[in-house]
Structure 1
Amino acid sequence: MKRANFLCATWGATAAVLLLVASPARADDPAKILKSMTDYLGSQKTLSASFESDIEIITPELQKIQFTSSGQMKLSRPDKLRVRRTGGYTDIDLVYDGKTISLYGNDAKTYVQADAPGTVDQMIAAMQARSGLGMPGTDLILSNAYDELMATTTESKHVGQGVIDGVECEHLAFRTPETDWQIWIEPGEKPVPRKYVITSKTMTGAPQYTLRIRDWKTDAFADADTFVFKAPAGASKIDLESAAIADFDELPPGTPQGAKQ
């Protein structure tokens, strides 16, 4: 009986996969659904949300290891952003006030600052270029998010529906030369992203970055100090180009970034 149940379950899963491959995607246009999401987020003067992120690495022994963090994001367009992320190896606070970006590592008791006058979009681009820090997920809040997300897309598909934190969402899948990525978008008048997965196609084992987002709000921030950085007592300032910037990464120092090809 157990073997029969196993075979039935296996056949059911196989049939579902074959049906997905053989059947055309639903008539819903994935680009149109994605555009509705980016237009909605881009039209909001203020945004806040909570998130959980998982980043995978592949060791030289081909073992897949996952590191998990939680955090909060607060955005005031066009030039203010605050992101707090707490994980097993880092506890960081990023504050941008339109003129200066400040990044504080609570575990290391150090912080970096750099002049970066402009918009949140410009700051994110500058941070990625200057420090080399990956900032996956920030592309969802860019003012030109749709263009950025679709810039190198070669294929898109409306997979169907999925339930994230009890909310039924539209499940979309996209392909680029270097990554596959998926996004789950809540339908309706407030089409916010609920889950975002980026899968590498250039590294052995196809490691993934997963972002789950909840508690979306568009209320203005009452606290005047929301985007003001105040260095904690005893914290020391380091140079942005310093190797100590690793203290602000999601991975512990010395973590291998991918298995040998």
Structure 2
Amino acid sequence: MRSTPTLRTTLSGFGTALLLAAASPAHADDPAKILKSMTDYLTSQNTLSASFDSDIEIITPELQKIQFASSGQVKLGRPDKLRVRRTGGYADVELVYDGKTLSLYGNDAKSYMQAEMAGTVDQMIGEMQAHSGLGMPGTDLLLTNAFEELMGTATDGKHIGQGVVDGVECEHLAFRTPDTDWQIWIETGAKPVPRKYVITSKTVTGAPQYTLRIRDWKTDAFAEDTFVFKPPAGATRIDINSVAMAEFDELPPGTPTGAKK
């Protein structure tokens, strides 16, 4: 004789079904294919601009996790023009690259530095990451070989499902590499731009994260002087290798080693 389900067992079964539904993507699309559609869209645009908010975490010697928040704007003119402004609690900095000269200006430091660096934005970003010591997470999204750069060391990828970032429906992807786990939320539809990007370091105790939220994507043409750097009145020029480079970082002096990606 079948017993009549009780309210408790009915609710229990309903809860299990909800958990299973939450754990299973609505449709398991190929994460690499979705990522490729994003990188193809970005690299096909001659001009790009966007605003962003970033959070970078550090782990103190006492194993306390601290976040530092910044906001900014980016303007890109392929193949060799870039302007980035970032304002945070410890730095107000601007990077301007015109294909020949790299200029960095620190509003708080009232100083700037310049270096001759003819080439493309890709080459400039590579030089900066290799020699300056400044963290530039998120710039890999701007590269002309962004897909290869992002997937180069990936050992696993998943399409988690859908998500909503700043009111925009997105595809949520998660990838793993030997050193980091990273997630990206890509806007659905004809304009597959990245809306959120999270990098988790697995080689630092406490697994600190870098989070980037991107909005206001535009592909409009820029004014002719967008990528022209003009030192503000009273600004002091310093050597590119000066210790004052610390003024251009998004973390305060004394941040524990290994906190940045």
TM norm. shorter chain > 0.5: yes
TM-score (norm 2): 0.90
Q: How far apart, in 2, do the equivalents of 1:238 and 1:194 lie?
A: 36
Q: Describe the superposition over 1:189-226 as per-residue Cα deviations: whole angstroms up to 9, x where unpaired.
A: 110000000000000000000000000000111x2210
Distance 1:257 1:66 in 2: 15
Question: Residues 89-138 of structure 1, C-alpha deviation per residue, up to 9 Å, x if partnerless?
Answer: 10001000000000000000111111110000000001111111110010
Structure 1 length-normalised TM: 0.90
Q: Displacement of 1:16 after TM fit?
A: 3.4
Tell me, in whole angstroms, the C-alpha distance in 1 between the residues paired with 2:34 and 2:51: 22
Deviations 1:25-55 (A, max 9, x none): 9430000000000000000000000000000
Amino acid at match of 1:146: F
Output the amino acid matched with 1:254: G
Quick one: which amino acid aligns to residue 131 of structure 1? S
Q: RMSD of aligned C-alpha atoms?
A: 2.1
**Structure 2: 5+ residue runs without aligned partners?**
1-10
Change (3 A) 1:146 1:64: same
Secondary structure of 2:227 counterpart: coil
User: What is the distance in 2 between the residues matched to 1:246 and 1:198?
Assistant: 23
Which residues of 2 match residues 8-157 of structure 1 at below 5 A? 16=19, 20=23, 26-157=27-158
Q: Which residue of 1 aligns with 2:252?
A: 252
- Stretches of structure 1 that go unaligned for 5 or more consecutive residues are 1-7
The 1:108/1:18 distance shift into structure 2, 3 A limit, reads same
Local SS of the residue matching 1:158: strand
1:3 is matched with none
Q: Does 1:180 align with 2:178?
A: no
Residues 16/237 of structure 1: CA separation in 2 closer, same or farther (3 Å cut): farther
Q: CA contact under 8 A between 1:130 and 1:241: conserved in structure 2?
A: no
3-state SS of the aligned residue for 2:122? Answer: helix
User: How far did residue 244 of structure 1 move?
Assistant: 1.3
* 2:200 counterpart of 1:199: yes
Partners of 2:20 and 2:227 in 1: how far apart? 47
- Distance change (3 Å), C-alpha of 1:160 and 1:230: same
1:228 — aligned with what? 228
Q: How far apart, in 2, do the equivalents of 1:106 and 1:219 lie?
A: 27
Aligned equivalent of 1:165? 166
Please report how far the alpha carbon of residue 257 of structure 1 lies from its aligned counterpart in structure 2 after TM superposition. 3.5
In 1, distance between residues paired with 2:107 and 2:20?
A: 46
The residue identity in structure 1 corresponding to 2:237 is K
Counterpart amino acid of residue 85 in structure 2: R
**Where does residue 5 of structure 1 map in the other structure?**
none
The answer as to whether partners of 1:59 and 1:258 remain within 8 angstroms in 2 is no
What amino acid is the match of 1:241?
N
Work out the CA distance in 2 between the residues paired with 1:24 and 1:106: 46
Shift of 1:237: 1.1
In structure 1, the residue matched to 2:191 is: 190
Q: How many Å separate the matches in 2 of 1:71 and 1:203?
A: 27
Change (3 A) 1:154 1:225: same
C-alpha distance in structure 2 between counterparts of 1:129 and 1:97, whole Å: 20
Name the CA distance, whole Å, in 2 between partners of 1:93 and 1:153. 31
Asked whether the 8 Å contact 1:58–1:257 carries over to 2, the reply is no
Deviations along 1:148-199, one digit per CA (max 9) or x if unpaired, are 0000000000001110000110000000000000000001111000000000
Q: Is the 8 A contact 2:25 2:161 kept in 1?
A: no
Q: Note closer, same or farther for the CA distance 1:258–1:32 as it changes in structure 2 (3 Å cut).
A: same
**What amino acid sits opposite 2:199 in the alignment?**
I
Residues in 2 aligned to 1:192 and 1:156: alpha-carbon distance in whole angstroms: 19
Q: Is the 8 A contact 1:25 1:158 kept in 2?
A: no
Question: Whole-Å Cα distance in 1 between the matches of residues 92 and 117 of structure 2?
Answer: 23
Q: 1:250 to 1:29 in 2, by over 3 A?
A: same
Question: Which of these two proteins has the greater Rg computed from alpha carbons?
Answer: 2
SS in 2 for 1:39: helix
The residue number in structure 1 matching 2:7 is none
